[in-house]
């Protein structure tokens, strides 16, 4: 059975990927993973394709034990893996709790890596992995220091893994969007001791456009997808402008 697997499936970008996968990719089925079981059930009822809902907390090791057992039992042909689960908090080192910082590391880095390694044995030539990153991966960002660092990990991991998988013909793309307006990420990120650490989000994109371009770029086997004008410029300018100057500009812009 040829399937797609999407994490972070209950809302935002993950949910949009599911919609576009069943329209554009047409696998035999989709496995959807998130913590909120009721949201997953809603998606399953909407889907024209067979859906397996897996209400798992990917920050817990038991989630991967269950997933490994299910993969071993079903032995699917995973054609597409979208690691869209992610978490952010805004604020400096005094305004973001140690627990929230650890949660970002656990979900954005460890869970993404564990998910990739768990699914890879069930992927064959032509399969694709989309590691959902962020344009914040291209430079350190005060007030998003841990989050941007986790996304730098995702970018580096994705690019290296892509080379390691050349021999198997499996494509890996790091998807690095700017802020996305119609997701929960901004609201959750602002729920911290300093909700005004970043005040405005000009030129924020929309999930439908990001998912569409990301799926296209992965088909083209691009190592990095910058699916909007802001992320493209961040990626380009970070190659030429000194990092300290970029950080200084960011510090000014986020206070406007």
For 36-68, what is each residue's pLDDT tens digit? 888 898 888 888 889 999 999 999 989 999 999
The H-assigned helical ranges of the chain are 12-20, 37-46, 61-74, 98-104, 112-119, 145-164, 185-190, 207-219, 229-237, 243-253
The pLDDT score that the predictor gives to residue 184 is: 65
How large is the average pLDDT for residues 216-221? 97
Residue 106's closest CA among 52, 57, 73? 57
The pLDDT score that the predictor gives to residue 194 is: 58
Question: When comparing pLDDT for 250 and 36, which is higher?
Answer: 36
**pLDDT > 70? residue 119:** yes
Which structural domain range is residue 80 located in? 2-253
Query: Which residue out of 122, 147, 157, 178 is catalytically annotated?
Result: 147
**pLDDT > 90? residue 26:** no
Please state, for a pLDDT cut of 90, what percent of the chain lies above it. Answer: 70
The structural domain count of the chain equals 1
DSSP code at position 122: G
How large is the average pLDDT for residues 151-159? 98
CA distances from 43 to 15, 22, 35, 125, 234 (A): 8, 12, 13, 29, 34
The pLDDT score that the predictor gives to residue 220 is: 97
CATH number at residue 35: 3.40.50.720
157 is annotated as an active-site residue? no
Give the mean pLDDT of the chain: 91
The pLDDT score that the predictor gives to residue 204 is: 81
Does pTM surpass 0.95?
no
Name the CA radius of gyration of the chain, rounded.
18
> 233: alpha, beta or left, given left = phi > 0 and alpha = psi -120 to 50?
alpha
Q: What is the pLDDT of residues 176-204, one digit of tens each?
A: 999 888 776 666 666 666 566 676 677 78
The pLDDT score that the predictor gives to residue 37 is: 87
Question: When comparing pLDDT for 50 and 252, which is higher?
Answer: 50
How large is the average pLDDT for residues 111-115? 98
3-7, 104-108, 119-123, 140-144: lowest mean pLDDT where? 140-144
């Amino acid at each position: 059975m040829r399937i797609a697997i999407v994490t972070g499936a209950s809302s935002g970008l993950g949910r949009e990927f599911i919609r576009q996968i069943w329209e554009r990719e047409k696998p035999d089925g989709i496995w959807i993973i998130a913590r909120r079981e009721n949201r997953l059930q809603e998606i399953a009822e909407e889907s024209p394709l067979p859906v397996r809902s897996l209400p798992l907390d990917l920050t817990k090791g038991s989630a991967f034990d269950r997933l490994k057992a299910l993969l071993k039992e079903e032995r699917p042909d995973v054609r597409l893996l979208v690691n869209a689960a992610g978490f952010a908090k805004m604020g400096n080192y005094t305004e973001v709790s140690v627990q929230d910082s650890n949660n970002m590391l656990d979900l954005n880095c460890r869970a993404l890596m564990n998910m990739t390694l768990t699914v890879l044995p069930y992927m064959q030539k032509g399969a694709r992995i989309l590691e959902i990153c962020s344009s914040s991966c291209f430079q350190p960002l005060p007030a998003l220091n841990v989050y941007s660092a986790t996304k730098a990990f995702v970018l580096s991991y994705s690019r290296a893994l892509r080379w390691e998988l050349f021999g198997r013909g499996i494509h890996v793309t790091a998807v690095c969007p700017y802020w996305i307006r119609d997701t929960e990420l901004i609201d959750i990120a602002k729920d911290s001791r300093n909700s005004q650490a970043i005040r405005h989000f000009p030129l924020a994109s929309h999930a439908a456009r990001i998912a569409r371009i990301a799926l296209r770029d992965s088909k083209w086997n691009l190592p990095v997808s910058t699916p909007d004008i802001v992320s493209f410029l961040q990626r380009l300018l970070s190659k030429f402008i000194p990092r300290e100057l970029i950080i200084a500009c960011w510090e000014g812009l986020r206070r406007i």
